[in-house]
Amino acid sequence: MSSRGPLSTAAIKPLSRAWTTADPLLEVSDLKVWFSVSSGVLQRTVGHVHAVDGVDLEIKTGETVGLVGESGCGKSTLGRAVIRLLEPTGGKVFFKGYDITHLRGERLRGLRREMAMIFQDPYASLDPRQTVGDIVGEPIDVHHLAKGKERQDRIQELLRVVGLNPRFVDRYPHEFSGGQRQRIGIARALAVEPSFIVCDEPISALDVSIQAQIINLLERLQSKFNLTYLFIAHDLSVVKHISNRIAVMYLGKIMEIAGGSQLYRRPRHPYTASLLSAIPIPDPVIEMRRERTILQGDVASPINPPSGCRFRTRCPRAREHCAEEVPPLESFGDEHRAACFYPLD
């Protein structure tokens, strides 16, 4: 595979200092993504879904950041916004030190070579009318990276890299299993040799035995091509094995972020502790004795989220102060931060 070309930075506003590989590859500052809610014959806007509502996040070069939370908390929306598949409502997204929040046209097209996405559903994310060669080769054609025999060789090499027979180029998606289809999706993501990939629950639709294979493949590819991942999942036990750091999201906000071992050993946020308590332990004696945190009530509506802390309506440690002010992400040392006025000891 050929070397990756430089990011086209013409007319893109940089940070105040020059970016180096020691700096975060991706920086998100106070990012918001709201969707309007319309009603009536005239379809007037009557409210907004606060899918992502003030997220700060940094991802370093070569690391994997896991993003977990309940369904509907805004994980996938955040993943799409940071690679500009969705237009942010507010905040900033910096990639390699450049402000990419509102890129348009050719500058946005140039950025597409640096970023890619692996989608959740390997059945819906592949065009059934295209052959495998067309699916994997489309990004190559869009960015004019290769033609003729060079293009064909590159497609076959991508299939080999993800563990598929290169002779499958003329087959269609319906001829493959779910795990094989996800490998095709991974090959497509690698086609333009990106440096950053958003993995949007890439194993949730697969059998358990296949999930481990896909995770191992992603780890091998990361080591081989120096990739950086944002790995989105709703299962903390899955992201533990692939992530350097884990961010816990609830109702559009980051509740806690820490290294994987720190988060599992000593969670500071009550929501994180409740998620961890729901993970089954493969020891019946320990499983029977341990204390579980059962949350009361349902997740609040993202159209009308609670004031102050988003989690306060279900939190067993909530006080009056939690309704009056939004808790900031406070540091607990070693890159461990949690947004809670009354953290766990």
Helix (H, G, I), strand (E, B) or coil at 69: coil
pLDDT at 340: 96
d(CA 135, CA 189): 10
* Same structural domain, 200 and 308: yes
- Among candidate residues 143, 165, 193, the one where a domain is terminated: 193
For residue 21, what pLDDT band results from cuts at 50, 70 and 90?
confident
- Among candidate residues 193, 228, 263, the one where a domain is terminated: 193
260-299, pLDDT tens digit by residue?
Answer: 889 999 999 999 999 888 777 776 776 667 677 777 778 8
325-345, pLDDT tens digit by residue?
Answer: 999 999 998 889 999 999 998
Using the 8-state DSSP alphabet, how is residue 240 labeled? Answer: T
* Same structural domain, 165 and 32: no
Spell out the residues 6+ positions from residue 286 whose beta carbon is closer than 8 angstroms to its own.
none
Q: What is the b/e burial string over 191-213, where b = at least 16 CB atoms within 10 angstroms of the residue's CB?
A: bbbbbbbbbbbbbebbeeebbeb
Please, are residues 237 and 279 in contact by the beta-carbon 8 Å criterion?
yes
Q: Does residue 10 sit within a domain?
A: no
pLDDT at 9: 47
Q: Does residue 9 sit within a domain?
A: no
Asked whether residue 3 carries a pLDDT value surpassing 90, the answer given is no
* Same structural domain, 105 and 149: no
d(CA 253, CA 28): 12
pLDDT at 6: 46
Determine the average pLDDT of the residues in 297-320.
91
CA 238, 244, 245: angle at the middle one, nearest 5?
85
Helix (H, G, I), strand (E, B) or coil at 342: coil
d(CA 174, CA 131): 10
| DSSP notation for 181-201 | HHHHHHHHHHTT--SEEEEES
Domain interval for residue 51: 24-38+46-114+194-338
Asked whether residue 5 carries a pLDDT value surpassing 70, the answer given is no
CA atoms within 13 A on the CB side of 241: 12
Question: What is the reported pTM?
Answer: 0.90
Tokens of 162: 């993800």
Asked whether residue 69 carries a pLDDT value surpassing 50, the answer given is yes
Q: Does residue 223 sit within a domain?
A: yes
% of the chain beyond a pLDDT of 90: 68
Please, are residues 332 and 269 in contact by the beta-carbon 8 Å criterion?
no
Mean pLDDT, the chain, as a whole number?
89
Indicate which CATH number applies to the domain containing 210: 3.40.50.300
d(CA 87, CA 19): 24
Tell me how far CA of residue 84 lies from CA of 100, 116, 126, 174, in angstroms.
8, 10, 20, 30
Asked whether residue 61 carries a pLDDT value surpassing 90, the answer given is yes
182-238, pLDDT tens digit by residue?
Answer: 999 999 999 999 999 999 999 988 888 899 999 999 999 999 999 999 999 988 888
